[in-house]
Structure 1
Amino acid sequence: MNRKIMMLLVVVFMLVAAGCGNNEKQADNSANAPKADEEVTLKIATLIPPMTEILDLVKPLLKEDGVNLEIVVLSDNVQPNNALVNKEVDANFFQHEPYMKQYNEANQSEMVTVQPIYNAVYGAYSKTYKNMEDMPEGATIAIANDPSNIGRSLVMFEKNGLIKLKEGVGIQATQADITENVKKFKFKEVDLLMLARTLDDVDLVAMTPAYAKPLNLTPKKDALITEGDDSDFVINLVARKDNADSEPIQKLAKRMASPEVKKFLEDNYGDIAIPAF
């Protein structure tokens, strides 16, 4: 009888010891696991208003979602993609899809569009002339020098009857694709961020409203021509393929496509930036 009691006590002791060991392991695992409400930092690269202003608007809203948004303002239109591809930032907000695709092809990268935000109305502006009919033969026209915006500019000029392009080239067009240029316009390719500064030196400048607005120019009021409402050049929130579906990026996308952002664009940039969501 005593032997049975002793054996029973040994078994009970072993079960209790095993249970304690499991509890200790669970406690260790719980200590090492991230807390459900732990704040996540998300870095996003951008360039100029209204992009920077939209991000400033959503930053406190994202804080409510447990995401600390760190806004990295860069100085040219290549750095934000380099930073994203090199994982120095988690997303960027400055570009349209044709530009992103051309960067991907040139660099074997895998950036993807997460959320369209707004359509920036593209136009051509002149400090000297009030309409295209006054533009002299041989006039110099400044356009952005990256491939997607070269094509965008030339297509805009073709749609407005100023030149003709090879059939079917579309936004892949280059100056070599111009088949008819009756007024012998000269196209000067300039770095995107330098376009606004050329306004004093050329006859016409093709640029997005983000670069025209600091000069107090808007497409509706001041552009001699615009590209129309069927543009494929919406400004997007962009991430990498490997993080685009992550919870923080999706929270950012939701906040950037929120009623607050739509109202901000309509109230402050209604003449140059049309919400795309």
Structure 2
Amino acid sequence: MKKTGFLLTSFLLAASLLTGCGAKEEAAPAGAAAEQTKVKVGVTAGPHEEIMNKVKEVAQTKGLEVEVVVFNDYVQPNQALDKGTLDANSFQTIPFLDKFNADHKTKIVIVGNSVTFPMGLYSTKHKNVADVPEGGVVGIQNDPSNRARALMLYEAAGLIKLKEGVGDNATPQDIVENPKKLEFKELEAAFLARSLGNVELASINTNFAMSAGYSPKKDAIFAETSDSPYVNVIAVNETNKDNPAIAKLVEAYRSEEVKKFIEEHFDGAVLPSW
């Protein structure tokens, strides 16, 4: 009897230990499986903000909460991403991001293309670029990437000629022909639309033009063509590029629901890149 009791006790103790180990093994995956369910995304005011609010609706159906943080310049969204106060941002072109990384030694990477905003030349005084008077003051963006893009747009419009090969590094100092002797005034991109009364002509990014009430399709007197290389991107800090929550954000952005919203809401002024 003693022997039987001893064996029974040993069996129960062993079973208890196995059950305890099993409980621990089951609990670990539960903790490991817990993934991020909320992301904070930086955008600029205007179309990027409107699109991301639509993305927010779609993402919510996939179990992801999106907090949209709005900025009014092109520097802070990347600074916030670099510092980790944002999970992602959606506002910039590839050349702009490349330049920002090079200048600030940051490691911000692309996780998906978003939309294209053709840059245009706008004026409240002229209906044609040929009407811009000699010696006229014209506006361009003061950040390096958009400044070069603007100068190439002025060149495409036939107003100036740039030094061959300067491309995305172009500055006003690279202008080799300026028949109208135009004076280029550099301003923050967000201020150009509000400065049209003080210049003959200005290059304006689509998002800021629309925020000021201008229709890129109707009001731009000259604009980039649909094959513009300046596609916008969704970007993250390199350390966050493999985050499943980011993949879910990109999936929501590049959904049919968002594509339809862009096509219907912006009437061709903003083009989906997928």
TM-score by length of 2: 0.92
Q: Residues 104 and 110 of structure 1 are in contact (CA less than 8 Å); yes or no, is this contact kept in structure 2?
A: yes
Structure-2 change in CA distance of 1:76 and 1:3 (3 Å): same
Q: In structure 2, what residue type is equivalent to 1:241? A: E
Question: SS in structure 1 opposite 2:100?
Answer: helix
Q: Residues 113 and 234 of structure 2 are in contact (CA less than 8 Å); yes or no, is this contact kept in structure 1?
A: yes
Q: CA deviation at 1:229?
A: 2.3
* Equivalent of residue 79 in structure 2, options 74, 77, 82: 82
Distance 1:25 1:222 in 2: 66
Q: CA deviation at 1:271?
A: 3.3
Distance 1:50 1:251 in 2: 21
Aligned residue for 1:217?
A: 214
Aligned residue for 2:14?
A: 15
- 1:48 equivalent in alignment to 2:45: yes
Q: In structure 2, what residue type is equivalent to 1:22? A: C
Aligned residue for 1:245?
A: 242
Q: In structure 2, what residue type is equivalent to 1:15? A: A
Aligned residue for 1:254?
A: 251
Q: Residues 218 and 271 of structure 1 are in contact (CA less than 8 Å); yes or no, is this contact kept in structure 2?
A: no
Q: Residues 82 and 106 of structure 2 are in contact (CA less than 8 Å); yes or no, is this contact kept in structure 1?
A: yes
Percentage identity across paired residues of the two chains: 37
Q: CA deviation at 1:23?
A: 4.0
Structure-2 change in CA distance of 1:270 and 1:22 (3 Å): same
Deviates most, 252-261 or 4-13: 4-13
Q: In structure 2, what residue type is equivalent to 1:93? A: S
Structure-2 change in CA distance of 1:5 and 1:99 (3 Å): same
User: Any stretches of 5+ residues in structure 1 without a counterpart?
Assistant: none
Q: CA deviation at 1:7?
A: 5.6
Q: Residues 39 and 66 of structure 1 are in contact (CA less than 8 Å); yes or no, is this contact kept in structure 2?
A: no
Distance 2:27 2:148 in 1: 59
Q: CA deviation at 1:215?
A: 3.7
Q: In structure 1, what residue type is equivalent to 2:24? A: K
Deviates most, 226-235 or 211-220: 211-220
Distance 1:74 1:127 in 2: 27
Aligned residue for 1:147?
A: 144
Deviates most, 81-90 or 52-61: 52-61
Distance 1:254 1:227 in 2: 28
Q: Residues 39 and 68 of structure 1 are in contact (CA less than 8 Å); yes or no, is this contact kept in structure 2?
A: no
Distance 1:99 1:245 in 2: 23
Distance 2:40 2:211 in 1: 26
* Equivalent of residue 31 in structure 2, options 30, 33, 40: 33
Q: CA deviation at 1:42?
A: 0.6
* Equivalent of residue 126 in structure 1, options 106, 114, 123: 123
Distance 1:216 1:62 in 2: 29
Distance 1:247 1:201 in 2: 48
Aligned residue for 1:138?
A: 135
Question: SS in structure 1 opposite 2:192?
Answer: helix
Q: CA deviation at 1:245?
A: 2.6
Q: In structure 1, what residue type is equivalent to 2:129? A: M
Q: CA deviation at 1:188?
A: 0.5
* Equivalent of residue 202 in structure 2, options 197, 202, 205: 205
Cα root mean square deviation, aligned = 2.1
Distance 1:221 1:29 in 2: 59
Distance 1:158 1:60 in 2: 41
Distance 2:57 2:154 in 1: 42
TM-score by length of 1: 0.91
Q: CA deviation at 1:160?
A: 2.1
Q: CA deviation at 1:34?
A: 5.8
Structure-2 change in CA distance of 1:17 and 1:205 (3 Å): same
